[in-house]
Amino acid sequence: MTKPVKSPGSEPTADSAAAPDQGETLLRVSGLKKHFPIHKGLFKRQVGAVQAVDGIDFEVRAGETLGVVGESGCGKSTMGRLITRLLEPTAGSIEFEGRDITHLGVSGMRPLRRDVQMIFQDPYSSLNPRHTVGAIVSAPFKLQGVQPEGGVKKEVQRLLGVVGLSPEHYNRYPHEFSGGQRQRIGIARALALSPKLVVADEPVSALDVSIQAQVVNLLDDLQAELGLTYVIIAHDLSVIRHVSDRIAVMYLGKIVELTDRQSLYNTPMHPYTKALMSAVPVPDPRRKAADSRERILLQGDVPSPMNPPTGCRFHTRCWKATEVCKTKEPPLIPLATGHNVACHHPENAPDQEPGDTALLSGSATAKR
Digit-coded pLDDT (tens) for 329-367: 999 999 999 999 999 999 999 999 988 888 886 555 444
Nearest to 91 by CA among 35, 32, 48: 32
- Is pTM beyond 0.85? Reply is yes
CA atoms of 256 and 68, how far apart (whole Å): 11
Q: Would you report the helix, strand and coil content of the chain in percent, each value rounded to 5?
A: 30, 25, 45
Within 10 angstroms of residue 23's Cβ, the number of other Cβ atoms is 10
Beta-bridge partners for 46: 39
Nearest to 268 by CA among 368, 346, 337, 363: 346
The pLDDT confidence band at residue 11, using thresholds 50, 70 and 90, is very low
CATH of 25-35+47-251, one of 3.40.630.10, 1.10.3720.10, 3.70.10.10, 3.40.50.300: 3.40.50.300
Q: What is the mean predicted confidence (pLDDT) over 111-121?
A: 92
Percentage of residues of the chain with pLDDT beyond 90: 64
Q: Where are the domains of the chain?
A: 25-35+47-251, 274-341
Q: Categorise residue 164: left if φ over 0, alpha if ψ from -120 to 50, beta otherwise.
A: left
Nearest to 336 by CA among 320, 347, 325: 347
The pLDDT confidence band at residue 14, using thresholds 50, 70 and 90, is very low
- Is residue 13 predicted with pLDDT exceeding 50? no
